[in-house]
Amino acid sequence: MRANNIIYTEVFFAPSKFIQNGLDFEEMVNFLVNRIREEKESDGITIRLLVDVSRSFGPENAMNNLNRVLKLRHPEVIGIGLGGAELMGPARDYQAVFQKAREAGLRVVAHSGEDDGPWAIWEAVELLKAERIGHGTSAIQDPELVKYLRENHIPIEICVTSNVFTGKYVRKEQNHPVRYYYDQGLPLSINTDDPEIFNVNLTYEYYKLWRFLDFSLDEIVDLIRQGVFASFHPNKESLWSEMEKKIYLVKARYGLKR
């Protein structure tokens, strides 16, 4: 993260398979929280966790994961997300889980529109009240959905490398809908999804936007800004001010203009 000039990140943590294999949720989270605090102390990087309640294991498991989160209530664990295999369960099956999470003050996000159509994204935003949509590659099929996401300021978490790898709606970088979404004014956040699996980092994700999708340097800086304001950081203006200083230094170092 340090090599990519990351100073704040929200990390998806999927515990279900580990629990199924006999690991203890509390021990896992306590270990992660300790590492998060060490990272803050050593490198000044702030890390927050979003726990994947996971549709791959069904609604009952999802509620169990939420209850585990609520029992611990670490400040580093700020919310839940609906990840896992999208076609294994519609968002509507998880309404009770997400309602309980929201009532408890947790932030909520959902992976949607990666393997399913725009109707799945509609369910995520209308029934789950998801504050961000992960992937969202099928939203381009529904202009009304694009308009809704824009007008309601619901960001899409863009994962170019991951989307090309899975290949459902995006077969090559040049065809990724991020260019269209940006031009339509949708709020966006650029992400790596699974950096170890896809052997990618955040810098390379931004490089692909420039290389394959004709994003200018100014537009990439704007996407970084959008990512800051799409986050759940409690003081986004302060975070962006810190990022602007880093961007200025990088531009000055390499003589970058636009």
Q: Point out the residues that are catalytic.
A: 114
Q: Which two tokens stand for residue 41?
A: 């102390």
Asked if 29 and 73 touch (Cβ cutoff 8 Å), the reply is no
Secondary structure (DSSP) of 95-139: HHHHHHHHHTT-EEEEEESSSS-HHHHHHHHHTS--SSEEE-GGG
Residues 6+ apart with CB under 8 A from 204: 161
Cα angle value 10/101/92 (rounded, 5°) = 100
Give the C-alpha separation, 108 to 73, whole Å: 15
Burial 56-69 (b: 16+ CB within 10 A, else e): bbbbebbbbbbebb
Q: Which two tokens stand for residue 135?
A: 């992937």
86 HSE (CA, 13 A, CB side): 22
Q: Which residue is it, tokens 């929201």?
A: 102
| Integer Rg of the chain from CA | 18
